[in-house]
Amino acid sequence: MAEQGSVGLVGLGAMGWPMAARLHGAGFIVHGYDVRPGLAQRMADEVGGRAAATLAALGQACDVVITMLPNSAIVEQVLFGDGGLAPAMRRGGLLIEMSSGVPAQTVALGARLAERGLRIIDAPVSGGVKRAVTGELAIMAGGAGSDVDQAEPILRAMGKSILRTGALGSGQAMKALNNLVSAAGFLVGVEAMLIGSKFGLDPAVMVDVLNASSGRNNSTEAKFKQFVLSGSYGSGFALDLMVKDLGIALEVARQTQTAAPLSALCRELWASAAAVLGPGQDHTAITRFSEMLAATRLQPAERAGTGEPG
């Protein structure tokens, strides 16, 4: 694969790591940085590329830098905190903010970066760890057309569909709204399985029927058997991150003065689950919260309706 130039990547977590691997595979020299000690070096050893010792070193080495971080507050800290990235980058540099962040905060960051002659686009993703590994993410890109043009070959190494959504921040607004739809679909699917299970339906059969019928969605197809009925709760997307995304969607609703009662209830349920289940949970573990509310467990058909506990 021909060498494509250097790209910085800050945040080598569940998503950043496989994205680094895709970039390396496409011929980019990835300069990785993560606040977790030793992680960037492990990336360099196991994936390829180079470990940046500090954010400033990464900024000096790269004119294009991707951020794949938990939230906008951390992105701001990475860019403008002590020893931050922005002062170290050369004028004309491009930030590709791929975190699921807050649109208004990204626009504000864009203004501060512009004062330093730096540019930014937002390019959050959908598809989870699985599609990050295969390079089939859906990427929603917001920002100046010429900046998105420059980023496109880099985005193509990680994503199958690159969808242009408009001005800076529009990708992140779209991402939050996508996750709102996804979160609601997940929750109602689990409720349907709990009702069906009590009625005597086998949840696995229910998933097969939904997937062959009009009730199917991404959760019925890619989550219920894989991460819920298996009991693994291991999708790689954290419950706390989903709650954050729903908060962003509701913030966009407030900003646009859009009444969104169902969305508000959905966010409340996900936030309550996070409070009850505690930190460190996968988002699919919200099933356990729904089970508590329904005072029943998802169970195979042969045990359903027999009065057995559990």
User: Which distant-in-sequence residues (6+ apart) come within 8 Å of 274 by Cβ?
Assistant: 239, 240, 243, 281
Confirm if 168 and 265 have CB atoms less than 8 A apart: no
The catalytically annotated residue of 130, 160, 175, 223 is 175
CB of 197 to ligand NAD, least distance (A): 27
Locus of tokens 């467990």: 297
CB of 273 to ligand NAD, least distance (A): 17
Which residue type occupies 185? G
Residue with smaller CB distance to ligand NAD, 70 or 247: 70
Confirm if 9 and 95 have CB atoms less than 8 A apart: no
Residue with smaller CB distance to ligand NAD, 35 or 107: 35
Q: Which residues bind ligand NAD (CB under 6 A)?
A: 10-16, 34-36, 68-70, 74, 77-78, 99-100, 125-126, 128-129, 236-237, 241
CB of 283 to ligand NAD, least distance (A): 8
Residue with smaller CB distance to ligand NAD, 202 or 282: 282
CA 83 to chain centre: 26
Is 225 among the catalytic positions?
no
Residue with smaller CB distance to ligand NAD, 89 or 304: 89
**Tokens in use for 260?**
């969104």
Confirm if 275 and 179 have CB atoms less than 8 A apart: no
CB of 93 to ligand NAD, least distance (A): 18
Residue nearest to ligand NAD (CB): 13
Sequence-ordered strand ranges (E) for 98-215: 119-122, 125-126, 137-142, 159-166
What is d(CA 124, CA 141) in angstroms, rounded to the nearest whole number? 7
Active site residues: 175
